[in-house]
Chain A
Amino acid sequence: MKKIIDFYISGFKEMSVHNKKLWVIILVKLFIMFIILKIFFFPNFLNSKFDTDKEKGDYVIEQLIGQE
């Protein structure tokens, strides 16, 4: 396990400054996607409204048959 961790650490350490910038961009992108977008802008619609699968299924069927 230690070997694997050392492998990654030394790999990252030996990257050029330019490639380190690339990794910074990636981390910022992942932060925007998974923290800002997912949490604040993209909650799961059905999960945020209903607790059980039955409620979700009933809601979708109501949507399909137009009984809003």
Chain B
Amino acid sequence: MEHFDLALVDWSRAQFALTALYHWIFVPLTLGLSFIVAFMHTIYYKTRDEEWKIMTRFWMKLFGINFAIGVATGIILEFEFGLNWSNYSWIVGDIFGAPLAIEGILAFFLESSFIAIMFFGWDRVSKKFHMLSSWFVAIGSNLSALWILIANAWMQNPTGTAFNADTARNEMVNFFDIALSPTAVFKFLHTVSQSYVIGALFVISISAWFILKNRHLLFARKSIIIASVFGLLASVFVSITGDSSSFNIAHTQPMKLAAMEALYDGEESADLYVVGLLNKNKDNTNFKGIKIPGMLSIMAFRNADAFVPGVNDILNGNEEQGILSAESRIEKGKIAIKALADYKQARKEGNDELADQKLKEFETNYSHFGYGFFKDKEEIVPNVPLTFYSFHIMVALGLFFILLFAWLLYVSLKDRLVKNKLLLIISLWSLLLGYIATELGWIVAEVGRQPWTIQDLLPVTASTSHLSVGSVQTTFFMFFALFSVLLIAEIKILITQIKKGPEKGGSHV
């Protein structure tokens, strides 16, 4: 791996992480708030109650600001794929092409066509068509997320494809294996449902602020009821899909699961840590805190007695459990890389017999291909403390949101919300906690799968382009400045709009 520049890899990763985390400020709010707006619009359509119209218009306006500022921030990720990650982009090209093309044609046009009708359509199109437009925007936004998450899921669990040694590209063998892989299904469901939680927290946080300021009380209480119901359902679903994702990760990315739980030495009836602190020991004495006996085994294999492999099992191998050591996989990976080189050489020299033999050797060892880029087995271990703490804080916040939504709903239905200052203050700050949880979710998913861009097949170190570190550093700081300015602009516009509050009539978004 000496021909790959690690500083370049680190800066490219930092730039990608910065862009993705920034992009993910806008996306979950778009996904979640679009459905809340559609619900409110439907209630207005059914009841023709002006109060619901005012609510729909207000939240739609905030949705519009978020959508407008966030639009196209994801495109920068594609720019980075093309420039910084050219090896990776070339290798996955055919796999990403189909889902992203479908996204472009179906979801983007559905979303962008109806968004203008949703914003400008008041009193210009029929009430039914206008209300349906809100739903189409919500469905279109979520469909966009579906295709992108399918592409991401393939990187975590590459199925339904075959690597072409002549073109260096992965080719699609079965579209449905990619689109309907459990990794893709759980990733989509978990990601969109937690986005609904963000949408609900956004409505609750702003409504709580109105109540604390003694403004728009009826509006705020109704908004909180809608958001609490939506948020409660979504947050329970998040915990169910999160559990399913963990089950899937146990089977496809065991190192990530080990890092999530800081499990170094695998064990039967493995415990799940609830809360605590890690020390520096790289064994199972590394944790002080509270744990639930056998729960990790249940989560990972639906069996309280099941063996869950730890970091050391994956590094050193475990014959009893049928786990190959990292060193063996590195060896096999090097055989695959050598076989690929020999195959190309034999093709060049027109030696078909040798080429066929080398191709077979390559294909036999291809499942270990990515390991061949490592010198030291320790390189396959992700950042355990970062993954562990991100995972546990995310889970704790997820459980907190369930309680918060249930508490809000109960107090609202009992008509005691206005007097409950503590709950209103917690609600006001809950949006920040929601964003912390959702960004931590991506850190678990993406840091936890390091060092891979494509699980087991391509490490990040072999994915980058030959660029100067300076050029990546320059664009990193450019993005940092651009994103900061845009974020400040959005927050400023949003706050101005929120301070104005809901109003009757008014101009379109």
Contact = CB atoms under 8 A, between A and B. Distances in A.
A57 B166 contact: yes
Interface in A21-40: 21-23, 25-26, 29-30, 32-34, 37-38
Contact of A46 (B86, B116, B117): B86
Contact of B508 (A14, A53, A66): A14
A37 B79 contact: yes
B80 interface: yes
B493 A65 contact: no
A17 to B, nearest CB: 9
Contacts of B90: 46, 56-57, 60
Contacts of B509: 15, 19
A11 B119 contact: yes
A53 B166 CA distance: 11
B462 A64 contact: yes
A56 B87 CA distance: 9
A10 B475 CA distance: 39
Interface residues of A, number: 42
Residue from A10, A11, A15, A43 with most neighbouring chain B CB atoms (10 Å): A11
Nearest to A37: B79
Nearest to B467: A45
Interface in B340-378: 340-341, 344
Contacts of B165: 61
B83 A42 contact: yes
A41 B497 contact: no
A42 B75 CA distance: 11
A1 to B, nearest CB: 14
B119 A61 contact: no
A2 interface: no
Nearest to A47: B82
B106 interface: no
A44 B87 contact: no
Given A11-B120, A22-B493, A45 B337 contact: no
A38 B79 CA distance: 7
B162 interface: no
B69 A42 contact: no
A66 B76 CA distance: 29
B507 A63 contact: no
A30 to B, nearest CB: 6
Nearest to B88: A60
B72 A25 contact: no
Contact of B465 (A26, A45, A54): A45
Given A15-B508, A16-B506, A44-B82, A61 B124 contact: no
A49 to B, nearest CB: 9
A45 B508 contact: no
Contacts of B326: none
A26 B69 contact: yes
Contacts of A60: 86-87, 90-91, 168
Contact of B489 (A11, A12, A25, A53): A25
A18 B496 CA distance: 9
Given A44-B82, A65-B337, 16 more contacts: A14-B507, A18-B497, A25-B489, A26-B69, A37-B79, A41-B83, A42-B82, A42-B475, A43-B83, A60-B91, A61-B340, A64-B87, A64-B337, A64-B462, A65-B344, A66-B337
Q: Which 6 A-B pairs have the closest CB atoms?
A: A11-B120, A45-B86, A42-B79, A44-B82, A65-B341, A16-B507
12 contacts: A11-B119, A11-B508, A19-B64, A19-B509, A29-B72, A41-B83, A42-B475, A45-B465, A47-B82, A57-B90, A64-B337, A64-B340
Interface of A: 7-8, 10-12, 14-16, 18-19, 21-23, 25-26, 29-30, 32-34, 37-38, 41-47, 53-54, 56-58, 60-61, 63-68
